[in-house]
């Protein structure tokens, strides 16, 4: 095979499609599934539309807002977040650390006193103090023992499936709001006027689910080779072999497939890179979706569940993102149960346990008729930020870039990225390639 001047993109998810959209060079896209979209696809069953858990567009940058509005046009709806926490049998607004009004008085007192103590120690700490950098210590330093005990530690250990002292803190700044003492006190007295977090407002398609977003790219990108899974990559020959026997040469390779899966299919991978890949950890999600014969089952978008008595860490309501996602007179629910190699999923009876816990939480009743049931098992859901994360990812990415491979997207970069981040990464990758 002669030398190629073509850019090959592996994966037609949001990152791969965005990269293709902005490329002005010769390229081809290969996707292992029968449809484009990756985890931004939507599934339809019995009149209900379900996503692969909650996929909402939190857009901060004007360039991204402009792009999404041009692609989805009128099929786009801006909403204000309605996120809550259920603990001690009580609903409190998200985030917990700024909205504890309504909880038992002793819980409120423990949280506020713990926060005051933590802030006092923070002021006394000298600039040269050596601070421990694990996630658990970070929680105690920023929120105190009360908030740690009643939400921060149980929720995060439930989500991440590991003792959180095994985790680093490089991801926390953006995703975990830190209120001032004054703001926390206002939230304890029911006088909170401020919204917190990166996801206060979100865009979502009016019809069709989040799968309409990747679909909107398709008229602007070249033909996608579907059902085409890369099975072997030769760095020496710059050649990819696919499951259908096809072979393709490339000049540059853009990969959005999970880093460990990419490393597995590269010929003659150095042992150092192989070891770094094996250190990468991740969280999987068992996503049970239900269609219920009862309308307005909740007025919320999603709810966090920190307590161990509930199998799931989060429950959301697709039909509250858009009423078009469920037939008239019904509601739709998605539930998320995390698992990993550290905490395997007990699959026997998991669906029954989730439904039982929905009844226990008062979200559905034993009399509610379930009209639709869809399990979406997401192997790669969250990259785990342990203390090897930064070094392992950097080692792998340096090797890949030295071999003309651009690995991007949430699991291609092995970073906790939002959909906007993935769009941004796709654009930046295309701009780099356009400049070469």
Residue 1 is assigned to a structural domain of this protein = no
Give the closest residue to 11 by CA, choosing from 41, 32, 39: 32
Task: Indicate if 133 and 170 belong to the same structural domain.
Answer: yes
Tens of pLDDT, residue by residue over 159-216, are 999 999 999 999 998 899 999 999 999 999 988 877 887 789 999 999 999 999 999 9
In this predicted structure, the answer to whether residue 261 has a pLDDT above a threshold of 90 is yes
Task: Give the pLDDT band (50/70/90) at residue 223.
Answer: confident
CATH number at residue 15: 3.50.50.60
As a whole number of angstroms, the distance between CA 253 and CA 401 comes to: 10
Please return the burial class of 118, using the count of CB atoms within 10 Å of its CB with bins 0-12, 13-18 and 19+: buried
CA 63 to chain centre: 22
Question: Cβ(18)–Cβ(217) under 8 Å?
Answer: yes
Residue 90 is assigned to a structural domain of this protein = no
Task: Indicate if 299 and 249 belong to the same structural domain.
Answer: no
CATH number at residue 46: 3.90.660.20
Task: Indicate if 332 and 317 belong to the same structural domain.
Answer: yes
Note the pLDDT of residue 129: 44
As a whole number of angstroms, the distance between CA 393 and CA 305 comes to: 31
As a whole number of angstroms, the distance between CA 24 and CA 338 comes to: 40
Task: Indicate if 183 and 313 belong to the same structural domain.
Answer: no
Residue 2 is assigned to a structural domain of this protein = no
Residue 87 is assigned to a structural domain of this protein = no
Count of Cβ atoms closer than 10 Å to residue 360 Cβ = 12
Residue 352 is assigned to a structural domain of this protein = yes
Mean pLDDT, all residues of the chain: 95
Task: Give the pLDDT band (50/70/90) at residue 131.
Answer: low
Domain range for 264: 7-40+211-280+387-434
283 forms beta bridges with 382
- The stretch 287-312 carries a mean pLDDT of 98
**Entry pTM:** 0.94
Q: Give the residue from 365, 383, 401 where a domain finishes.
A: 383
Task: Give the pLDDT band (50/70/90) at residue 2.
Answer: low
As a whole number of angstroms, the distance between CA 143 and CA 146 comes to: 8
Residue 343 is assigned to a structural domain of this protein = yes
Note the pLDDT of residue 132: 53
In this predicted structure, the answer to whether residue 127 has a pLDDT above a threshold of 80 is no
Residue 217 is assigned to a structural domain of this protein = yes
Count of Cβ atoms closer than 10 Å to residue 270 Cβ = 11
Question: Cβ(230)–Cβ(257) under 8 Å?
Answer: yes
Task: Indicate if 319 and 253 belong to the same structural domain.
Answer: no
ω before 95 within 30° of 0 (cis)? yes
Instruction: Report in angstroms the alpha-carbon separations of 232 from 4, 247, 266.
Output: 17, 9, 6
Tokens matching residue 47: 């009149």
In this predicted structure, the answer to whether residue 275 has a pLDDT above a threshold of 60 is yes
Q: Give the residue from 194, 222, 256 where a domain finishes.
A: 194
As a whole number of angstroms, the distance between CA 133 and CA 76 comes to: 41
As a whole number of angstroms, the distance between CA 63 and CA 113 comes to: 44
Task: Indicate if 266 and 399 belong to the same structural domain.
Answer: yes
Task: Indicate if 379 and 413 belong to the same structural domain.
Answer: no
Note the pLDDT of residue 126: 43
As a whole number of angstroms, the distance between CA 176 and CA 164 comes to: 14
Count of Cβ atoms closer than 10 Å to residue 201 Cβ = 14
Question: Cβ(251)–Cβ(240) under 8 Å?
Answer: no
Task: Indicate if 36 and 46 belong to the same structural domain.
Answer: no
Count of Cβ atoms closer than 10 Å to residue 292 Cβ = 23
Task: Indicate if 250 and 120 belong to the same structural domain.
Answer: no
Q: Residue for token digits 């920190």?
A: 306
204 forms beta bridges with 77
Task: Indicate if 252 and 391 belong to the same structural domain.
Answer: yes
As a whole number of angstroms, the distance between CA 90 and CA 303 comes to: 11
Tens of pLDDT, residue by residue over 309-328, are 999 999 999 999 999 999 99
Residue 153 is assigned to a structural domain of this protein = yes
In this predicted structure, the answer to whether residue 436 has a pLDDT above a threshold of 80 is no
Question: Cβ(127)–Cβ(162) under 8 Å?
Answer: no
Tens of pLDDT, residue by residue over 383-403, are 999 999 999 999 999 999 999
Phi and psi, residue 426, nearest 5° = -60, -45
Q: Read off the DSSP letter of residue 149.
A: I
Task: Indicate if 125 and 255 belong to the same structural domain.
Answer: no
- Total structural domains within the chain: 3
First-to-last CA distance in the chain?
23
Note the pLDDT of residue 125: 54
Instruction: Report in angstroms the alpha-carbon separations of 78 from 57, 58, 280, 365, 423.
Output: 9, 10, 36, 31, 18
Tens of pLDDT, residue by residue over 68-126, are 999 999 999 999 999 999 999 999 999 999 999 999 999 999 999 999 999 887 765 54
Note the pLDDT of residue 173: 87
Task: Indicate if 391 and 275 belong to the same structural domain.
Answer: yes
- The stretch 218-242 carries a mean pLDDT of 97
């Amino acid at each position: 095979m002669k030398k190629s001047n073509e850019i090959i993109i592996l994966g037609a998810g949001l990152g791969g499609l965005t990269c293709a959209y902005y490329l002005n060079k010769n390229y081809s896209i290969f996707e292992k599934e029968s449809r484009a979209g990756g985890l931004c696809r939507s599934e339809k069953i019995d009149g209900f539309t379900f996503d692969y858990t909650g996929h909402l567009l939190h857009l901060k940058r004007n360039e991204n807002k402009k792009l999404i509005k041009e692609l989805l046009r009128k099929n786009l709806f801006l909403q204000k977040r309605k996120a809550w926490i259920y603990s001690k049998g009580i609903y409190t607004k998200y985030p917990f650390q700024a909205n504890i009004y309504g909880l038992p008085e002793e819980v409120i007192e423990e949280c506020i006193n713990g926060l005051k103590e933590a802030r006092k120690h923070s002021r006394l700490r000298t600039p040269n103090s050596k601070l421990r950098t694990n996630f658990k210590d970070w929680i105690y330093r920023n929120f105190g023992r009360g908030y740690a005990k009643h939400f921060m530690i149980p929720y995060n250990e439930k989500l991440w499936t590991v003792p959180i002292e095994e985790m680093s803190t490089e991801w926390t700044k953006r995703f975990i709001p830190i209120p001032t003492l004054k703001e926390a006190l206002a939230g304890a007295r029911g006088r909170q006027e401020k919204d917190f977090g990166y996801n206060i407002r979100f865009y979502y398609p009016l019809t069709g689910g989040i799968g309409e977003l990747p679909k909107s790219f398709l008229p602007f990108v070249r033909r996608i080779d579907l059902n085409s899974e890369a099975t072997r990559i030769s760095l020496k020959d710059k050649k990819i072999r696919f499951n259908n026997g096809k072979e393709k040469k490339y000049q540059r390779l853009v990969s959005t497939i999970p880093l460990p899966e990419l490393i597995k299919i590269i010929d003659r991978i150095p042992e150092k890179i192989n070891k770094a890949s094996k250190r990468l950890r991740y969280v999987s999600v068992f996503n049970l979706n239900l269609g219920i014969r009862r309308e307005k089952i909740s007025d919320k978008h999603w709810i966090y569940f920190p307590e161990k008595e509930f199998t799931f860490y989060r429950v959301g309501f697709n039909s509250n993102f858009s009423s078009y996602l469920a037939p008239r007179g019904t509601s739709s629910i998605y539930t998320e149960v995390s698992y990993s190699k550290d905490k395997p999923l007990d699959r026997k009876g998991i669906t029954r346990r989730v439904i039982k816990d929905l009844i226990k939480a008062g979200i559905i009743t034993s009399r509610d008729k379930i009209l639709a049931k869809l399990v979406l098992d997401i192997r790669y859901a969250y990259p785990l930020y342990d203390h090897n994360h930064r070094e392992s990812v950097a080692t792998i990415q340096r090797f890949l870039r030295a071999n003309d491979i651009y690995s991007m997207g949430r699991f291609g970069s092995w970073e906790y990225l939002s959909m906007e981040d993935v769009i941004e990464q796709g654009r930046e990758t295309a701009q780099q390639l356009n400049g070469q």
